[in-house]
Structure 1
């Protein structure tokens, strides 16, 4: 295998695609990579011994320049991604889920931004959410990058639309097994604690929304996100971001953690105490217990009383 990683003008980009039983999506995922207006590419699919049509789809791409794949049992997506890191030879990397898709120009724009500013650890853009049939549901409108902004949810480093310095990611050990349901965010934050990032003002990818997504595992996401914040807290504290980090943990628990109105409102007040900037971005009514549930019921009752509704 060649060890050449770059040319003078065009660095090799390695895209890691962890895969398991996503045969109905992965062809489009790979087509979205190979249809990009950028070369050279190394596309590495690490499949966890899928039982559906995935392997047949992968075989159909055999012979495509830059494409390699393996299908064998693994312990999950963290092991799969780290196997991809071990194979990756690129200067710049991306990690694309086997049910998400790049939009045209995503790679070339990201490479240009990283080449233009050698101080950047990563760049990312906006995404569109689509249903299982590819129909658009919504688009993100992310704010400019800052580490505090990431913690306070003013912006989000979204895996389907992120490209990064491969050497830095490898030096940090790739994805961590300790936080499997927050492993991508954990890597972005560890990279962000080393160097700057940049939000690109471009729609760069599509994320599929369907019943088999990891995003449906809310309790596990909240658990691992909190553990990640705890692991990184000494570094956040050293950067003067301990309050934002604690607020981030509470905001994520509200999004994915245990339900309960008093619990939700309590977390929100605590988050605002740790990071007062939270107050400016959340309506005051959200701080009042049962405001939204009561308003919803009152509106429904009023609607029911209207004639001929």
Structure 2
């Protein structure tokens, strides 16, 4: 599939709430052209774009500087500290009422910002609105799409107990909600679960729309492949809620998520994870992981 997006330059409409699009960048040179084109092809008329490079070692920063001749965006750089710190950096300069945090290896669909901003306009009780993803491979070929029958309204108990994540590339946050939770914890290097949970913990509603807004690129550098980093971030995220009744269920869900990758790539680590779950907290997913661990032969 050939990726080609023509930006549609629209006049700004200051009567609409300003949306700050803050995009962290780390070694994304291969995808910057198409990602930036999709951001500037949005049909929402009032956005500011802020890009924060998180210590890229490839040609990302020179490319971004060159692209500033084509697109109107702010560019900042920091030493590599992780995506949470990069987003905090960008938030220092953000003036928007709403905040969008796309990845620069993905492609935003043209109505992405508008659909979610309209929803926040109509639902002041919502602090974070998410939507769905179309998955694509590293070359931009669509592989599958998420489905949802209707608007999903997530409670704090559900988010914690099932370790539910409203992905950062499909989330639009209310700036007031981000300020209420004191932005991102930079010690937690993965951004989306911590923000989903923190916003819900403060009484804001979290909704997910049954519409696709982003084409998500799967490639070897995706964080989901670095499951140990993700596991550490998830554990840090739920740590403040140890006394909550849903904590143990959430802990099991997080371990099950790590086991999905560990059982095929690091059996020793998988056994360590499995033994950390009390037997009374095993669920169907845990037993499936256990069965796969017993049957799967790890390649050398």
Q: Does 1:251 align with 2:260?
A: no
Aligned-pair CA distance for 1:61: 2.9
Q: Distance in 1 between matches of 2:272 and 2:182?
A: 39
Return the match for 1:166 from 150, 175, 181: 175
**Equivalent position of 1:303 in the other structure:** none
Greater percentage in helix:
1
Query: How far does residue 293 in structure 1 lie from its aligned partner after superposition?
Result: 5.4
Alignment deviations for residues 1-49 of structure 1 (CA, whole Å, 9 cap, x no partner): xxxxx943x1110011111211001222211111010121111011134
How far 1:224 moved relative to its partner? Answer: 2.1
Aligned residues of 1:23 and 1:53 also touching (Cα < 8 A)? yes
- The change in CA–CA distance for 1:133 and 1:153 in structure 2 (over 3 A counts) is farther
What is the TM-score with the length of structure 2 in the denominator? 0.80
Deviation at 1:169, TM superposition (A): 0.5
Alignment of 1:136-285 (within 5 A): 136-141=142-147, 144-147=152-155, 148-153=157-162, 156-181=165-190, 183-194=191-202, 195-234=204-243, 237=244, 242=245, 244-257=246-259, 259=263, 260=270, 264=274, 267=277, 269-271=279-281, 282=284
Distance 2:286 2:236 in 1: 29
- Which residue is equivalent to 2:101? 95
Map 1:42-191 → 2, pairs under 5 A: 42-63=48-69, 66-141=72-147, 144-147=152-155, 148-153=157-162, 156-181=165-190, 183-191=191-199
Q: For the structure 1 residues 42 and 292, does the alpha-carbon distance in structure 2 shift closer, same or farther, using more than 3 Å as the test?
A: same
RMSD: 2.9
What SS class does the counterpart of residue 17 from structure 2 fall into? coil
Give, in whole Å, the separation in 1 of the partners of 2:100 and 2:72: 14
Pair 1:155–1:231, CA change in 2 (3 A):
closer
Report the CA distance between 1:263 and its aligned residue: 5.5
Give the match's secondary structure for 2:99: strand
Find the partner of 1:23 among 23, 26, 29.
29
| TM-score normalised according to structure 1 size | 0.78
Q: Tell me by how many angstroms 1:127 deviates.
A: 0.6
User: Secondary structure of 2:153's partner?
Assistant: coil
Measure, in 1, the Cα distance between the counterparts of 2:61 and 2:276. Answer: 48
Q: Indicate the larger mover: 146-155 or 168-177.
A: 146-155
Larger Rg: 1
